[in-house]
Amino acid sequence: MSDLLTLMPEGLYCPQAGAYVDPVRPVEKAIVTHGHADHARAGHGAVLATRQTLDIMAIRYGTDFCGTSQEIAYGAQIKVGDVDVSLHPAGHVLGSAQVLLSAPAGRTVVSGDYKRHADPTCAPFELVPCDTFVTEATFGLPVFRHPPAHREIAKLLSSLDLFAEQTHLVGAYALGKAQRIIGELRAAGYEKTIYLHGALEKLTGYYHSQGIALGSVEPVGQRGKELRGEIVLCPPGQLSDRWARRFGDPVTAMASGWMRVRARARQRGAELPLIVSDHADWDDLCRTILETGAERIWVTHGAEEALVHWCEMNGRNARPLNMIGYDDGEDPDAARDRAELM
């Protein structure tokens, strides 16, 4: 087991740094990997994170979300207690980082959430060699193989061709997924204005302010049936809400790695499931574990047992962390859906 990290009720703790990584309860000193609510919580004494993660936390929780904050750029190294700490792109959402803790005892990487697939809205995942690798396992079952995003976007665009008189309503999480869908649509050559539910405006505006090219984006406002033939993005919960009725008879789509699971698509009210995920799929989890060269693998939030078993078959020392409080980027149904697949 790594000497650098230990598991506490508050989360992963590094005694030599006196700091937690993504603690699930308020602590004195936290290093935060990214802005999703299961990793970034309000109320810590001090927070160390990338500039963008700090900004996103301030947008979500207000500027007083912690006592003091310190930004650290990707690749820069600082001393925290007796440990050298640096942050490296995780490819998950804007500002997302893996945390590298190095000390004479070895190198430990806490990856937070990560993906290897290209994403036009954030820096690409950087492979960080280490001795101990803490990996997520949100989609840690062999059935989860994410198709390339452009193929799913092509499905959306061909539906728009076919049902040109209907609004296409796409459910997407507010941080990361909504902006990625816009970016992928632009990459596919879609140039028309894309409309947003109010709950997606702030973070999309922040991405725009950070130089992420999203093209013409407008709030839905009071509009409804006049958005026939247009693409409208909204939080997943709004797909089956009264709010959706303003568009008459929209085509409902949902962008999530969980759309691989038919029952989930039905339950979400998504006629057009789009398998677009910001998490590594099974192949990329396994590949990343091998590529880090780590001998010790700690597995968090997700299908831990399957990945732990795979690690052991491949000669790695693996441990499920069974931590309470993490989930799939704020999706409360994730654990239940995964359980159905096991």
Shortest Å, Cβ 159 to Zn ion: 28
> At 91, phi and psi to the nearest 5?
70, 15
Measured CA distances, 32 to 19, 111, 134 (Å): 10, 11, 14
Nearer to Zn ion, 122 or 244 (CB): 122
Shortest Å, Cβ 333 to Zn ion: 14
329 binds Zn ion (CB under 5 A): yes
* DSSP class of 170: E
Q: How far apart are CA 214 and CA 205, in angstroms?
A: 10
CA 83 to chain centre: 27
Q: How far apart are CA 309 and CA 319, in angstroms?
A: 9
User: Other CB atoms closer than 10 Å to residue 340's CB: what's the count?
Assistant: 9
Contact track, Zn ion, 38-77, x by CB under 5 A: x---------------------------------------
Scan residues 5-24 and list those touching Zn ion (CB under 5 A). Answer: none
Does residue 309 sit in helix, strand or coil? helix
Instruction: Name residues whose C-beta falls within 8 Å of residue 36's C-beta, 6 or more positions apart in sequence.
Output: 93, 113, 175, 176, 329, 330
113 binds Zn ion (CB under 5 A): yes
For residue 171, give both structure tokens.
Answer: 């459910």
Shortest Å, Cβ 95 to Zn ion: 11
Scan residues 188-207 and list those touching Zn ion (CB under 5 A). Answer: none
What is the C-alpha end-to-end distance of the chain, expressed in Å?
28
Which of residues 23, 30, 31, 36 is near Zn ion by CB under 5 A? 36
Nearer to Zn ion, 36 or 268 (CB): 36
- The greatest distance separating any two alpha carbons of the chain, rounded to the nearest whole angstrom, comes to 64
257 binds Zn ion (CB under 5 A): no
Scan residues 290-309 and list those touching Zn ion (CB under 5 A). Answer: none
Site stretch for Zn ion (CB under 5 A), options 29-37, 127-135, 196-204, 255-263? 29-37
338 binds Zn ion (CB under 5 A): no
Shortest Å, Cβ 296 to Zn ion: 21
Are 137 and 161 in contact, with CB atoms under 8 Å apart?
A: no
Nearer to Zn ion, 41 or 168 (CB): 41
Are 117 and 144 in contact, with CB atoms under 8 Å apart?
A: no
Site for Zn ion (CB under 5 A): how many residues?
4
Nearer to Zn ion, 230 or 304 (CB): 304
Nearer to Zn ion, 181 or 244 (CB): 181
Shortest Å, Cβ 285 to Zn ion: 13
* DSSP class of 236: G
Q: Which residue has the tokens 């069974």?
A: 322
Nearer to Zn ion, 113 or 230 (CB): 113
Nearer to Zn ion, 36 or 41 (CB): 36
Binding site for Zn ion (CB under 5 A): 36, 38, 113, 329
